[in-house]
Structure 1
Amino acid sequence: MEIREEVRKVKAAAPQMAALSETQRNQALQAVSDALAARKEEIFAANEEDRRQAEKEGIAAPVLKRLKFDEGKLHDVTEGIRDLIGLKDPLRQTQLARELDEGLTLYRVTCPIGVIGVIFEARPDALVQISALCIKSGNCVILKGGSEALRTNKILFQIIQKAALEAGLPEHSMLLLEARSEISELLDCYGYVDLLIPRGSNQFVQYIMNHTRIPVMGHADGICHIYVDKEADLKKAIPVILDAKTQYVSACNAVETLLIHRAIAEKFLPELAKELKAHGVELKGTREVQELTGCVEATEEDNRKEYLDYIVSAKIVDSIQEAIDHINTYGSHHTDCILTEDSGAAEEFMMLVDSAGVYQNCSTRFADGYRYGFGAEVGISTGKLHARGPVGLEGLVSYKYKLFGNGHVVGDYASGKRTFHFKDL
């Protein structure tokens, strides 16, 4: 496949995609949901092949877990599509209406970004979520999933593309890349791709950023922290930590580092260690934590480690400021939580921790587009421009300025013949 030519076709389809009505886009989403349910056995069979091959190749357990696409995953993605259909149309929303002068009126109106390329990990459900979000937001999409999910991604894409085209989406509004070598070709498609969203390791995301002129949005690592404050309710703390670590251990929003205030460490850490062990979680800790729990030693490298496994590191801190400094130094600016009943401490933590998500008394696993009511997400952005946190519909639209006049010319204002009065409508 000549990638540049195929991407050019996607770019040419973008204005047609942007012009579709909300009704047309929602009908396409419904058709996709129905088609996925109708052909689920084909999807499950392809996924079984992918998983058998991955196991044969000795793929790590967290990757195998992400790779699985079963009835539960199918239910989740179709529910997500149903939620998307019910969400307000993100397009053609007027964000600003201003009369500059009599008969000269300015509007800022939302529109699609255009062509979005998403390179994602071996998670077939991500392909469905990304495709659905792009349909709802009027964007064309180029998809490249992890090679471990090659068969599952292929059948999912075929089903989604066929249903969407039959429902009236433009030809070439979706493209699936299959070979890893095609990523390099995609990175050279500046001018045809409006935004790239890479999902994966820090090394991979940095590679993408350093090898393309296309704007890039996304996150690398998910090094999430929970700080247990001296005013924490310890009965709440352990269930929250267990959920954040074990509910879905290979997710980017699973907690990786625990920071425990010294005032409660002696009482809290032994009980926490006992519960973590009971749930199959290996605890690593500084020398102080080891003395209280008998856990495995943690090194400096553990401060920067995204385990994606049943492992968590712990450190004792003397103050909330030390916890904040640790998070801002070693964290990935993804999602970090304070467990405390002190509203002042929570406010300080949320103000000073420089992350896309800052929580009080709840699991970091809530950092998710579906759980935020966005329908789904194309990824988590830890940057600060355009979109931050779970990127749902709002993060997939831009805007344009529409100016309506009646023969107005700038010269009249430059000469003083006319003046602006800037009246918001």
Structure 2
Amino acid sequence: MLQPRPTLGAPSPYTFPKPRRLRVGGGTVVAIDVPRQPYASIRLVQPAGGVNEPLEHMGVAALTNEALEDGVRGNSSLAPALERHGADWISRVTWDSFVTGVDAPANRINDAVSLFAEAVRAPALRPDDVVRRRDQLVERFWLEASVASTLAARAIGGQLFTGRYATPLSGGPARLQELTPEAVADFHAGSIAAVAGTLVVVGDLSDVDLEELGKTVFGDADPTPSPSTSAPGSAPGELPRIVVLDRPGSVQSALILAHRAPARSEIDLPRADGMSDVLGGMFTSRLNMELRERLGYTYGVGCRFDLRRDSGVFLLSTQVEAPTTAHSVTATLGEIERLQADGVTESELAAVRESNTVGLPVSYSTARSLAGALVEAVIHDLPEDHVDRLRAGFERITSEDLHEAAREYLHPRDSVVIVAGDAKEVAGPLEETGFGPVTVHDPETLWT
């Protein structure tokens, strides 16, 4: 016999744990103690992101990040060494940061962090290993670019920015191929080994000496320099415009609409993300209901803000059947226009509030997710209670707030539409939309 469903209670209130902060040598340790959380997450955050690379060595941060995995003995020696302690190596490069770390059992944290510190401060960086990693990155770049959605996404920077942002974060295949082991060694010595950074530690820390961990990781490295920020220049060309990346014979088109957005410190995130959720960030979003449910053009739509210290990008993406490409563009523009004109409904407002508040206890239930929030705070100089501020912002948001955000943060007339698809089939109908001039490019020539 079927049992009745339980009645849902009120959502549990959530407060982000208050981190402990201490200065150790030239660095800072930021930690959250999570009792009975046996697995710990350790992250070292340094400001050596892609935007700080010299233009003649674009991609050196990504290559250095990969090369660290070869450890102090070279030839991919780090992973097996960490596995003996049940630990996993974590690393990534963003435009604003160079992040490395380990996830490890709390009772093996000292051994894992010692190996981690050696790998970060004194890796072998053997020339043969660096060249092997470089060739793998180049091969991976083209392999990933064979996917239409990745190809379109990597073309955004060159359409919106000049300078470093105009080339993909990895540097692009031509720039990567020019990087030498000496360039990697110089970058590592000046931007990684010599810079203390901020160490994030989350887990059951009852038996962990945070000061000793900091000494192990920071050593005698210098304090982290304050990163300088200046707004990047805009790419030349008429706006709005449409760029077609020709993929002959493609039965689908990957479609992106993108324009510049404010920097992370300049944007009201609850209003911006809430508006983005209504437009295309939730399954019940307007674009998903239009392009997927009503028209049947796509399996799904997404939109988001990519926010950096000095600038940002708003992007909306989907993949549609090739014959529907032009109409997908006009339908998308129509939904943006309606959102800016009419605002949001009460049901959409309720969905935004619930999706950004009710699930917080689950979202931050692991050491890794808590560490991720602290890493974001370090990268963007956010207050330690930034998660609580975001929650409070979503709790008090109004329909008028979201309506104002649509008018403030959406700029379709300053946008570039990038379409990765069959130019013979889509270019003509795209011209007929009247959105802007259409140009066709060979993807092979974008980053050479």
TM-score (norm 2): 0.25
| Greater RCO (Cα-Cα under 8 Å, separation 6 or more) | 2
TM (norm. structure 1) is: 0.26
